[in-house]
Chain A
Amino acid sequence: MRPGLYWLASLLVFPLAGSLVSFSRPFRALPLSSRLALGAGVGAFILSTLMTIFSLIGVPWSVPPLIGGAVLVCAAIGRRLSLESAGEDRGVSAAPGVYRVVGTLLVAATVANATLATVAGGATSADLITFWGPKAQAFAAARTIDAAFLSDPLLDYLHPSYPPLVTNVFAFASLVAGRFAWGAATATFPLLLAALAVGLWGLLRRSMSAASASAVAALVVCGLGLLGTEANIAGTGEMPLLFYETLALALLVGADATKPSAQLLAGLLLGGAASAKIEGLPFVLAVTGLFAWSRSQSGQRWRVCVRLLGPTAVAIGTWLAYGALEGVFRGYEGYGSLLKLYPEALPTITESVAYSLWLIAYGMPFLFPLVFLALRPRPWRPALFPIGVAVTLACFYFFTYLHVPDPAEWISWSAARIFSPLIPLLALAGGIGSPVPGRFEGSGEVEGHG
């Protein structure tokens, strides 16, 4: 029990280091809870990237230098961000309206449900046992990313090219605790769901009414919580991926999205998404491309792209350089030639994807945000960015499945998880962009259209 507690306690390093970024001047108008959640994401991303850099240059992992390095990097980023003025305080109301109370209760109930399911051993993924856990365990024992372990021909199922954030973070916690803790690793699912819940509301509240923010946050968190327990994602890269993707998206659809500081913070979160799972990279590219195209002026686009893509380029570039130099992998694993497709499999893919999503609580986590979006009032323009990302991702996943002549089995165990980012994308698209009632009434101000 005690190693498990140490293992979990070590994760507190992430919000402590990352808060040097998320508590910097431009984000002072955000609620404390949001800044802590954002800080946790940034801290984990910076520390993981440092671990990869240490491995690349041959420096063995040790806890004090890793923490010190993460604090220094976060302090440097925070100092740079502090040159920008503080975000406008939009007077986030502390008054608990009925929507906010109900939304908070529902989110708390979902986190409680995810915790109970996880503690009872009802949400654990086989992938934790078959590759996430063993890799983290081996990395902690070797005090580096263990190229020999990843290259072992008897262990060809380990997906050696999978990006390193989850295994690095798990290895860091194992270094602190003295061993890998399986139960504690599964607890990252409800912990990240809770962190997402407290972070998301404050971000949405910057650009929506309290009622809308509560409704959208509840729809997202309750959807992801149910999907997580039904699809058994505890202890894998899914929840970190969803945490990073959702918070980055909430920043980029918000009122502050045009500010360089918000874009850099979103870029750090997108770096976390790309480092958490392979699926994070298409998400990052779709978000960056569509955001730069739809929400920035033509002369500013390359700067926006640098802010959003820079952290991803550093993290994934380091990872791919490590793989190539150690001879473990050259690029991400693929599914044959890019244009060798099996279009005759399209009906099977469509049917199998629909069936897989249906198996997750009759598709409710996906259908409810879709209905919420369909019922949104005009104007639709602010929603086009998240809708565009959702459509791009869905097309990309269909394109990926088309590389296999009979992908039904592959879809049966992967579709619900890889399509899960559609839940926050659809819910946010449904919630942003409506005129804010009450406080802004009469001004014609539009939610999330800063």
Chain B
Amino acid sequence: MTATLAKGARERSWRNALALAAALILVAYGFRRLPRWSELFRLPRTPLDHSRIHDSSAQFRLLLEAARVVPPGATVVMRGAQADARKDAFLHRFAVALLPGRRVLPAAVPGAPVSPSDEPGAEYVVILGPLRESVSGDLIAATPDGTIWRTRRP
């Protein structure tokens, strides 16, 4: 019995050491995957800056600016500078999240884009990216990520 337990203790001992070695590899891999140290200790501008959807950081920043200039209760639509129904549907979701208290209308639902001239009665339009066409309205904010417009409603 004692010999069996001693053998069991030896087996456990090397298995435990193996488990800790595996954990060490996981930790080392995790640190290797972190952003560069110079970037790590610079406060990110959005929670997405180094995530899988880091390309959405621009719309996050633009919507933070929109939250500053678009008053609560207003109707807003967000779209990309270039018509892309799939991307516009995604932008709508971001706008709902980052413009609480406003009525956020979709520029598109997947598969059915709304052309810029048909913007559905929004008081404000948030456009991601550099403008490719004229917008009917007053420019109220411009950032490197896009522009925010107050529409001229009839």
Contacts and interface: CB of A to CB of B under 8 A. Distances in A.
A99 B20 contact: yes
Nearest to A213: B16
Contacts of A430: 15, 19
Interface in B70-129: 92-94, 96-98, 100-101, 105-106
Contact of A110 (B1, B22, B30, B39): B30
A47 B84 CA distance: 43
B5 A437 contact: yes
Interface stretch (A19-27, A121-129, A344-352): A121-129
Given A134-B96, A437-B12, A219 B22 contact: yes
A113 B23 contact: no
A106 B24 contact: yes
B16 A214 contact: yes
A124 B48 contact: yes
Nearest to A131: B93
B20 A214 contact: yes
B53 A99 contact: no
A375 interface: yes
Contacts of A211: 12-13, 16
Contacts of A137: 97, 100
A5 B24 CA distance: 32
Q: Say which size band chain B's interface belongs to.
A: 35 or more
Nearest to A125: B51
Contacts of A365: 26
Interface in A39-72: none
B2 A442 contact: yes
Contacts of A99: 16-17, 20
A126 B53 contact: yes
B154 interface: no
Instruction: Specify which of B2, B19, B93 lies most central, judged by the most chain A CB atoms within 10 Å of its CB.
Output: B19
15 contacts: A106-B20, A106-B23, A123-B51, A131-B93, A218-B20, A218-B23, A219-B19, A219-B23, A230-B33, A232-B51, A368-B25, A372-B18, A372-B19, A430-B15, A437-B9
Given A107-B23, A121-B46, A437-B12, 15 more contacts: A110-B23, A114-B30, A122-B50, A129-B48, A130-B93, A141-B100, A141-B101, A154-B106, A222-B27, A222-B30, A229-B30, A364-B22, A364-B29, A377-B8, A442-B5
Interface of B: 1-2, 5, 8-9, 11-13, 15-20, 22-27, 29-31, 33-35, 39-40, 44, 46-54, 56-57, 60, 92-94, 96-98, 100-101, 105-106
Listed from nearest, the 9 A-B pairs whose CB atoms lie closest are: A122-B50, A121-B49, A215-B19, A215-B16, A121-B44, A437-B9, A368-B22, A218-B23, A222-B23
